[in-house]
Amino acid sequence: MKLKSLLGGALLGLAVLVGLVAWIALPWPALLALAVLAAGWMLATRSGRQAGSVTHVGISTLPQRLGASSVVVIGIAGVVAVLVALLAMAEGYRQTVSATGNDETAIVLRGGSAAEVMSVIERDAIVAIAQAPEVARDADNRPLASPELVVAANLPRRGTADEDGSVQLRGVDPVAWAIRPQMRIVEGRDLEPGRRELVVGKGARAQFAGLEPGSEIRLGSDTWSVVGVFESGDAMESEIWGDAGIVATTYRRGSSRNSITARLSSPAAFSAFKATLTDDPRLQVEADTTAEYFARQSETMTKMLRIIGIVVGSIMAIGAVFGALNTMFATVAARAREIATLRAIGFRGLPVVVAVLLETMLLAAAGGVLGGLIAWLVFNDYSASTLAGGVGQLTFDFKVTPHLLWNGLKWALAIGFVGGLFPAVRAAQLPVTTALRAA
């Protein structure tokens, strides 16, 4: 008998776990359909109307149990706030990196290179790639292809005395601006070719000290002048830019470059551009659209941040479930006589179960809304930085999106369901005579 009971409990637990996973994964139209079906059941059936009556009674007594109910609301709010904040970090990182590319530009790296810093392209290959017929040209018939250097430079972090951070220094030629029309100088001026001058992204300026226009910083063995600040609305804002030839001289890179970014004659020309490079025996390179390249660069970090968010959220959710269990078991015990009286006058067990679950999930929904509001107020557009591509720090903003808020609410309801299920079943199974005597 005991084995049978344990087996039944294990099967129930497995069913609940599978149901929770399905609940989290369901899109909102499916959940809306479930809500409509539940409302229809409560309006059209006797058991449903009984469940509605019991739920109304329970909700009307919530002010008398404000302290215990607040434990559930605050606990679930904490879970949702942390979960949404961590997922907002992943979403902000993904949006910032993904926004850097598009289908109209292509990036070329040495074959087998996963990122710019791992790639080296020699001068002869650079010339051949720039002359590909699919590369767009400017009004003077010059190819819109930008060979670029990427190196790591150490600079003191803003707000710290002796702590240095890594910033991505990109060596460019004037054509780089024509390829990226979203780049614009917002303070100071553009750098002049052939001089040790830098323009810095807004994100880099916010993270590192000494990057104000007019200041001088030391990179490598040379002193550089900061002459301007640019913004682009993407990952480039975390970089500092200098003249490609001067950067190559400072870091002893010769005539080689890490990558070539080219504007194509049209988005449809990419396949032909890639075929042209593949068919040229002089070249051992790989090409991607910048949209594909930067989306791939964001995948690993985004997945890691999401996993951290879900793991931390799950651990906190377990604590919130126990808080809900304690509260609802105490609620059921305090309402034992009331529930027993309802059972005695003809109310079935199912309406009692549904009523306790609805009450718990109402508290959970309140906690979910509160937690989502806290996450949005505190973390939306909050600036942070992390290492990107192993080269420099990427500055990005947390993004609390409606999708994340919806997921947080679903997590809250799932916690409420688990926290209310077992007390609800106990309330329905409690013998009427026992409950009346105990009360």
Task: Give pLDDT tens digits for 104-122.
Answer: 999 999 988 888 888 999 9
pLDDT of residue 108: 95
CA–CA distance, 204 with 201 (Å, rounded to integer): 5
CA–CA distance, 267 with 274 (Å, rounded to integer): 12
CA–CA distance, 343 with 158 (Å, rounded to integer): 67
Within 142-183, strands assigned E span 145-156, 164-172
Answer yes or no: are the C-beta atoms of 302 and 397 closer than 8 Å.
no
Above 60 in pLDDT, residue 432?
Answer: no
Q: What is the pLDDT of residues 289-319, one digit of tens each?
A: 998 998 888 888 788 888 888 888 888 888 8
Bridge partners, 260 (sequence order): 108, 147
- pTM exceeds 0.85: no
Count CB-CB contacts under 10 A for residue 165. 19
Across residues 251-278, what is the average pLDDT?
A: 92
pLDDT of residue 166: 84
pLDDT of residue 342: 64
Q: Is 160 exposed, middle or buried (0-12, 13-18, 19+ CB in 10 A)?
A: exposed
pLDDT band at 359 (very low <50, low <70, confident <90, very high): confident
Q: What are the helix (H) ranges across 45-159?
A: 46-60, 66-98, 123-130
Q: What is the pLDDT of residues 260-269, one digit of tens each?
A: 999 999 999 9
DSSP 285: E
pLDDT band at 40 (very low <50, low <70, confident <90, very high): confident
Place of tokens 């001067």: 246
Query: What 3-state DSSP class applies to 430?
Result: coil
pLDDT of residue 329: 72
Above 60 in pLDDT, residue 434?
Answer: no
Kindly report the average pLDDT of the chain as a whole number: 83
Across residues 356-376, what is the average pLDDT?
A: 88
pLDDT band at 152 (very low <50, low <70, confident <90, very high): confident
